[in-house]
Amino acid sequence: MLTRARRRWHTRPALPAVHLDDTLPWAVTWTVDEPMERSSHALAADGRVWLLDPVADEAALDAAEALGEVTAVLQLLDRHPRDCATLAARYGVPHYLLPQRVPDSPFEVRRMVWLPGWREVSLWWSDQRALVVAEAVGTASYFAVAGRRLGMHPMLRALPPGALRLFAPRVLLCGHGRALHEDAASALDEALSRSRRDAPRAALAAVRAFSGGQGPSG
């Protein structure tokens, strides 16, 4: 593993402000303060840590390393390269792109969206009742509208992925927006039931969020 000094030498210019959430004893989530509200996660079990769709931030990586040894980097969405390859090289661990399984882990992998131009898998951790969704749902302002805690991706509102109905999570970690720590199942049920009816509000929220030209992906 590279030394701390070496790792900092290779770090790119600082990100905008990053919100670090270490509320859960087995996870760290960090969310970039930007229109896309990109979120990354570190999950820990038995002294091992998996980085999920990570954006490199030194404070967040320090918090992830405090949970254990980084074992792998997982990219759950085809168009979420972010810093996955860079961090896999930094830690000398595998970079799993759209994995069908995660070796020696407590996670189940499920396909979420599997269309040309959009390949996405989710992680389910049954022991923690935790669901990780890279893109299909989120808590960012252009996903969760009308005061809701969670919402569908704008492009999936007409036909939400059926795989989402398979889960009743307590915790939901998404690729855009902050984590839901409790009663995520009810938030997910509401997001699914309101998907089409909230579409006009979501479209307006996306216009407001990305009026500077940055689209809702990444």
Q: What is the pLDDT of residue 6?
A: 36
Q: How confident is the model over 70-115, as pLDDT tens digits?
A: 999 999 999 989 999 999 999 999 999 999 999 999 999 999 999 9
Considering its fold, how many domains does the chain have in total?
Answer: 1
pTM: 0.89
User: Is 2 a member of any domain?
Assistant: no
- Given a contact cutoff of 8 angstroms between Cβ atoms, the answer to whether 20 and 28 are in contact is yes
Domain for residue 4, yes or no?
A: no
Range of the domain at 101: 18-209
Edge-first strand listing for the sheet containing 39-45: 18-21, 27-32, 39-45, 48-52, 69-75, 95-97
Nearest partner of 78 among 33, 115, 130, 26, judged by Cα: 115
**How does residue 212 score in pLDDT terms, banded at 50, 70 and 90?**
low
How does pLDDT run across 167-207, given as a tens digit for each residue?
A: 999 999 999 999 999 999 999 999 999 999 988 787 787 77
Summarize the confidence of residues 113-132 as an average pLDDT.
Answer: 97
Give the pLDDT of residue 201.
82
Closest Cα partner for 138 from 37, 61, 33?
37
- Tell me the CATH number at 51: 3.60.15.10
Assess if residue 155 is contained within a domain: yes
pLDDT in tens, 19-73: 999 999 999 999 999 999 999 999 999 999 999 999 999 999 999 999 999 999 9
Instruction: Specify the pLDDT at position 16.
Output: 81
Q: What are phi and psi of 209, to 5 degrees?
A: -70, -35
Q: Quick one: pLDDT at residue 4?
A: 39
Residue 122, in any domain of the structure: yes
